């Protein structure tokens, strides 16, 4: 099978397309022919060497799968060959999804929503699971509450807006002015141009000084230190960013705030919950660009480029017939 191999930690040129052996499913595993995968910030963080202790080289990386079950190992009862499935491979535990085939534990695999194409499904497994973990499991966002989603046009952010609206929350988000209409179409109630206005000032103005119940940080920078200034009493801050940030501890203490740091855990349950929202028309991924398996280095370069103008996710068509 063809696979993109990470030869060394570094830039996008660190990948090499090679022929490697097709994996064989063991007990409790399924073998999936990968039709599509996707690119996430986690992918270029792994590639550049942020997690060297967890990624032995050479390695197949990648963290999204949408495809079709080709074979099952002993003991598998939930799937049969021909089933369309989607999932996030176990992070830092075995080969990833930048390949024509992948094996996964039955327990983390879900049935692909029928209304999504493979390209769409592949852009949603990691970011969808991350947003669910952040908003539902950790922040416990409730009907009638309010949330600020930083980076609402991004891969996780554009899913978080839709998920928060499905829960019944009032959604504030920060985007560039060029993405105002995109964010509003996703369901954002109040859109803030972070290049032209301080988001703390905007939140306090729009909430009559109360602040929001939840801040969802997808961008890093100084968001952890400034978020308490826009947070209501008993508010929650949830961050998916893995870089050190200064923290406004005194203000957070004064607001009786709680902080949550999320690194996505894989399980079928989250995928099934997301599938229900998709089938009810409350959630839809947005694809900003599509590349082939051979062009993964170009996809990485685009995602890392500042001001790349992307909305949503970059999809990778592993199955050549899916390339537009």
CATH code for the structural domain at 2-124+285-322: 3.90.180.10
End-to-end, the C-alpha distance of the chain in Å comes to 22
- The Cα–Cα gap between 311 and 184 comes to 13
Give pLDDT tens digits for 44-100: 999 999 999 999 999 999 999 999 999 999 999 999 999 999 999 999 999 999 999
Tell me what pLDDT residue 264 has. Answer: 82
- The Cα–Cα gap between 290 and 299 comes to 8
Tell me what pLDDT residue 119 has. Answer: 98
Give pLDDT tens digits for 200-252: 999 999 999 999 999 999 988 888 888 889 999 999 999 998 766 556 665 66
DSSP labels for 281-309? TS----EEEEEEGGGHHHHHHHHHSTT--
Tokens found for residue 295:
């062009």
- The Cα–Cα gap between 36 and 25 comes to 20
Cβ atoms of residues 174 and 194 within 8 Å = yes
pLDDT higher than 90, residue 265: no
* pLDDT, mean over the chain: 93
Cβ atoms of residues 13 and 288 within 8 Å = no
The residue whose two tokens read 């199955």 is 319
Tell me what pLDDT residue 142 has. Answer: 97
Tell me what pLDDT residue 40 has. Answer: 95
Compute the C-alpha angle 60/64/47, nearest 5°: 40
Tell me what pLDDT residue 275 has. Answer: 96
pLDDT higher than 60, residue 154: yes
pLDDT higher than 80, residue 280: yes
User: In the predicted model, what is the mean pLDDT of residues 15-36?
Assistant: 98
Q: Where are the beta strands (DSSP E) in the chain?
A: 2-6, 15-19, 29-39, 65-72, 84-87, 101-105, 110-111, 146-150, 170-175, 190-193, 212-217, 231-239, 258-261, 287-292, 313-317
Tell me what pLDDT residue 248 has. Answer: 62
User: In the predicted model, what is the mean pLDDT of residues 120-136?
Assistant: 97
**If you classify domain 127-261 with CATH, what class do you get?**
alpha beta
Tell me what pLDDT residue 20 has. Answer: 97
Is the pLDDT higher at 278 or at 256?
278
Where along the chain do its domains lie?
Answer: 2-124+285-322, 127-261
Instruction: Report the helix count and the strand count for the chain, using DSSP H and E.
Output: 10, 15
pLDDT higher than 80, residue 4: yes
The reply to whether 127-261 shares the fold of 2-124+285-322 is yes
């Amino acid at each position: 099978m063809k696979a993109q191999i990470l030869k060394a930690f570094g830039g996008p040129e660190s990948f090499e397309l090679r022929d490697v052996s097709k994996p064989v499913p063991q007990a409790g595993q399924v073998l999936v022919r990968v039709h599509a995968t996707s690119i996430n910030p986690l992918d270029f963080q792994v590639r550049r060497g942020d997690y060297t202790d967890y990624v032995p080289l050479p390695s197949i990386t990648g963290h999204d799968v949408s495809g079709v079950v080709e074979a099952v190992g002993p003991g598998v009862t939930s799937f049969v060959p021909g089933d369309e499935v989607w999932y996030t491979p176990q992070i830092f535990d075995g080969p990833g999804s930048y390949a024509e085939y992948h094996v996964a534990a039955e327990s983390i695999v879900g049935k692909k929503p029928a209304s999504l194409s493979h390209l769409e499904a592949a852009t949603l497994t990691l970011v969808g699971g991350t947003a669910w973990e952040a908003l539902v499991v950790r922040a416990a966002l409730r009907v009638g509450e309010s949330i600020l989603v930083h980076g609402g046009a991004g891969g996780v952010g554009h899913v978080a807006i839709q998920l928060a609206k499905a829960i019944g929350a009032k959604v504030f988000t920060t985007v560039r002015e060029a993405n105002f209409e995109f964010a509003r179409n996703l369901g954002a109630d109040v859109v803030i141009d972070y290049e032209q206005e301080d988001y703390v000032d905007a939140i306090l103005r729009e909430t009559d000084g109360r602040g929001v119940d939840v801040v969802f940080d997808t961008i890093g920078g100084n968001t952890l230190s400034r978020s308490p200034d826009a947070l209501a009493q008993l508010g929650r801050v949830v961050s998916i960013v893995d870089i050190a940030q200064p923290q406004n501890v005194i203000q957070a203490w004064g607001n009786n705030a709680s902080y949550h740091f999320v690194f996505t855990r894989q399980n079928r349950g989250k995928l099934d919950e997301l599938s229900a929202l998709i089938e009810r028309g409350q959630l839809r991924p947005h694809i900003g660009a599509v590349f082939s398996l051979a062009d993964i280095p170009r996809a990485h370069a685009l995602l890392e480029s500042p001001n790349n103008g992307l909305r949503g996710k970059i999809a990778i068509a592993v199955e050549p017939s899916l390339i537009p």
